[in-house]
Structures are given as structure tokens and as C-alpha cells.
Amino acid sequence: MDRFDFVVIGAGAAGEAAANAACERGRSVAVVDRELFGGSCAFWACVPSKSLLHAASEHRCGTYSWERASARRDYMINRENRDWPDDSGHLGRLESAGARAYRGDARIVGPGLVEVTLAGRGVVRLEAGTIVVATGSAPKMPPIEGLAASGPWTNREATSARELPRSLVVLGGGATGVELASVFARFGVETALVHSHERLLERDHPRNSEAAARILRDEGVELRLGARAVRVRPGAGGREAHIVELGDGGYVDGERILVALGRSFGLENLGLDSVGLDPTSLPRDGRLRVADGVYLIGDPAGPEAFTHVGHYQGGLAVRMALGEEATPDYRAIPRAVFLEPEIASVGVSVEAARAAGTDAFEVVADFATTARGYGVEAVFGHLAIVVDRASQTLVGASIVAPDASAAIHEAVLAIQAGLPIATLATVIHAFPSTSRVFDGLFAEAAGQMGPGLQRMARSA
């Protein structure tokens, strides 16, 4: 039995961050993964989808074929001239940092004990000072009659496809569903999106949801909102398309059905019961430490299943395990959806803030009529901030603009640091950037909290 200070189960973004943080602190580390070192983000999700979104944007200008897009995507995920990605780069970087890598299925068999079934090479036992569970998530497959027989896609098949389908039905209106619907629609695939909620991205700011719907409709996506898929009739449509019957009595059809209805966390067979945990009832509140010597990070930990949250938690869990002063703080988690224009937000909407008892108000700017908006010929978009009147601080922001995923980080920092609106109103922004629009928003917010505060902001 080999002993390590840390045994990390899962080598995606969260697991890699934990392993690297522990190695940097001179600790011995073992990392176990059953599939690809680097995880879903690198090979089936974030990286390939953003490559395809860029290609789809260029294709609309007539300069990017699907063949070129597919080849570029394969290059991005190290899958050129092969069917399976090459993860040796991720593996090599972990080993260079000082970690020992094991490819196999890991199971916790007791406090500080992990058993790894190696592919075709028997079983090894690892003794761990701290166990870090970073097993990620997998797409949920709903029990819809006939769906399995249709050969449904998940994000894995959609982001790795080398041939375009003639038509596509997307089930789910979260970030994955709307981004992939946009990719295929821009490449000329007849695309319909079914979402049970009345608005897309329903957990995001309402204005962002409206923008997502407008973008997809402009790209030719048929939106069926407030509708739920109840049955699939495989091959029953024209050209052997699958018919998806909806709960409202209507239907859509497509050669392929892409399921983007959330994620499952697969903790049931990990052996968590051997350390006194019920894997079916672990709270997704991002607390990280779930038992003595056991930390849960990444998608299963919550509160959000984002790569950047998992990366943050990886380093934080190691610091906590080593007794450093560190506490999870999720007040300012950025969210970004890479449509065209981009959609981003942080914090809470004004409706959510008021529902929580905060005396909040919102200030909104129309992006299309700003200097930056005129410069890029924007026809719509916005920047909005949500302010807590009592603390005179920012508690939320949302942006729809070409560079929203970058511009949102000023609001992220402001919320994280609790910066007063009066201070934010004194920041000098480059003209005519998207971030420059915050100038007017902060000044207007200061004015709504009293002329004295506005004068302070202007004189500072």
C-alpha cells in the first residue's frame, strides 16, 4: 500500500487544481481518473463548444466551413486523425508537478483508504491523509418513452460530431442547450429547442433570458418554451427524423435529439458510505469538507457546476485541509453564455434581492445607444447593475454585449470586495469600451442614494 498526503479522485479542472495546489506545497499526491485526465471541460464541453461557436460565427460571414470547424475542434481537443482524444498533455503536466497518476476506477473503502481498480492491471490500495473527491458530472438522461431508442446525443456527441445532422431537436434551455443550438443553427441545421420553463436561462437575470431568446430566434432556432417532451417516436418523421411529442399537444422533429437537461453526479458507487456519508443526500452548498479527511469539490459540491468554480474549490480545499485560513465565498460567481452577442451576469437580480429582503434597486443602460454599441453596430444589448441601498454596494450585474464575458469581471470584483458605489463611480474606464458604460450606471446609482453621495463620487 502506497501512502500519500492527498489522494484526488477525478482529474478534471477541480481535481487538477487540487493536485497542483498540494504539489506546490510540497505534499505527496496521487490522482485517479477512470477516463480522460483533463476532464469533460477540456474534451467534451467548454473547450470544443467555444471553438465551434467561434467557427459558427465566422461561417455566417461565409469564411468557415463545417469541415474546417470540425478539424479545428479536433485540434483543440487533441483528437486529430483519431476517434479518442489524447490526454497525455494533462497527464504529463500532473506528473511533472510531482503527482502520481493512476488510470482506473477509485472507491473509498474506509477512512483514509482508496482502492483503485486499474484497467487490466489488478487493484492497488492507496492510503490518504486527505481524500479529495472531484468526480465531476455526467449528462442526465430523462425517462422519456422512446428517447433511448432514438440514439440521443449529449454534449459529448454534439461537441465531437464530424458530420452535421440535417435537423436537430435540443431538449433543455440552459447554457449548454442554447450554445449548441446556436452552433448548429448558424451552420444551417434546422434546429428546434424545447424548454419546460417559460424563459431560457431561467436562473439568470430576466433581461439576459430575453436576449438569449432573441438571439436564437434571429438565428432561425424554433423555440418551444413552457413545453415538455413527453414521448419520442424514433424514425417516425420525414427522412427518418425522430418525432418528439410535447406535453402541450404539439411536436417537433429532428434527425438527432440533443439532451441538455442538467447533470447527474454519480456519487452512489464511490464508497462514501464507508466514511459515514449518504451519497444521495449530500448538500450542494459548496462547503467542501464533508467528513473528517474528506473533501468534495467541483460539480457535485455545488453551488454551481462551473469549471471556474471547481478550479477555485480545488485550491481552497487543499488550503483548508492543511489548516490554512480559508473559507469558501460564493457571493460573486460569474456566469457567461457565449452566444453572439455574449451574455454574462454575477450576483442576484433585483427581483431575487427584494425577495430576500434587500432594499435593492436596478439601473439599466441600453448598450446599442452607447459609444461602444454604435461602434460595433449593435441593435440591442444592455448593462444593468443591482444595488443594495442600505450597504450602498453592488449585489448584482448583467450584460449583453459582444465582450460581456470580460466586462462582467469589474462587477465580480466589486461584489467580492464589497466596494462602495461611491468608490466605483470614481474609476476611470477606457473610452469607448463596454466597461465605460459602468461610469454612467454607478453615477446614476449614487444619485438615487442621495445627492450627497453623488457629490462625493464626483469630487473623489
Query: C-alpha cell of 227?
Result: 413545453
Q: Is 116 exposed, middle or buried (0-12, 13-18, 19+ CB in 10 A)?
A: buried
CA pair distance 378, 369, nearest whole angstrom: 8
User: What is the side-by-side order of every strand in the sheet holding 190-195?
Assistant: 222-225, 190-195, 167-171, 256-259
Decide if pLDDT at 265 tops 90: yes
Overall average pLDDT of the 58-68 stretch? 90
Supply φ then ψ for residue 441, to 5 degrees.
-65, -45
Angle at 303 between CA 309 and CA 330, to 5 degrees: 65
Q: How far is CA 300 from CA 66, 100, 138, in A?
A: 35, 24, 10
Is the model's pLDDT at 460 over the cut of 50?
no
The predicted model gives 46-52 an average pLDDT of 97
Domain boundaries, the chain: 2-38+87-137+265-321, 148-262, 335-459
Domain 335-459 CATH class label:
alpha beta
pLDDT of 455 higher than 60: no
Q: Fill in the DSSP letter of residue 420.
A: B
What pLDDT sits at residue 449?
A: 85
Q: Which of 71, 242, 55 is nearest to 166 (CA)?
A: 242
Q: What is the pLDDT of residue 453?
A: 55
CA atoms of 424 and 451, how far apart (whole Å): 16
**To which residue does cell 446556436 refer?**
182
Phi then psi for residue 163, to 5 deg, are -130, 140
The reply to whether domains 2-38+87-137+265-321 and 148-262 share a CATH topology is yes
Cα–Cα distance measured from residue 200 to residue 175, given in angstroms and rounded to the nearest whole number? 9
Residue bearing cell 434571429: 218
Higher pLDDT, 266 or 86: 86
pLDDT at position 244 is: 98
- Report the pLDDT value the prediction gives residue 78, as an integer from 0 to 100: 96
Contact 229, 244 (CB under 8 A): yes
Residue range 319-335: average pLDDT?
97
* Average pLDDT of every residue of the chain: 95
CB 252 within 8 A of CB 192: yes
Mean pLDDT over 403-423 rounds to 97
Q: How confident is the model at residue 188 (pLDDT cuts 50, 70, 90)?
A: very high
Rounded mean pLDDT, 439-449:
93
Tell me the percentage of the chain whose pLDDT exceeds 70: 98
* Residue 119 near residue 136 (C-beta atoms within 8 A): no
pLDDT tens column, 203-221: 999 999 999 999 999 999 9
Name the H helices within 220-377.
307-321, 350-355, 371-375
Average pLDDT over residues 359-378: 97
Query: In which band, very low, low, confident or very high, does the pLDDT at 240 lie, cut at 50, 70 and 90?
Result: confident
pLDDT greater than 60 at residue 454 = no
- For residue 161, the SS3 value is coil
Greatest Cα pair distance in the chain: 73
pLDDT digits (tens, 9 = 90+) for 89-147: 999 999 999 999 999 999 999 999 999 999 777 999 999 999 999 999 999 999 999 99
Nearest CA to 97 among 22, 11, 39?
22
- Whether the CB-CB separation of 31 and 95 falls below 8 Å is answered with no
Checking if the pLDDT of 235 tops 80, the result is yes
Q: CATH number for the 148-262 domain, one of 3.40.50.620, 3.30.70.1140, 1.10.645.10, 3.50.50.60?
A: 3.50.50.60
* DSSP single-letter state for residue 145: B
Query: Which architecture, in CATH terms, is 2-38+87-137+265-321?
Result: 3-Layer(bba) Sandwich (3.50)
Res. 378 pLDDT band, cuts 50 70 90: very high
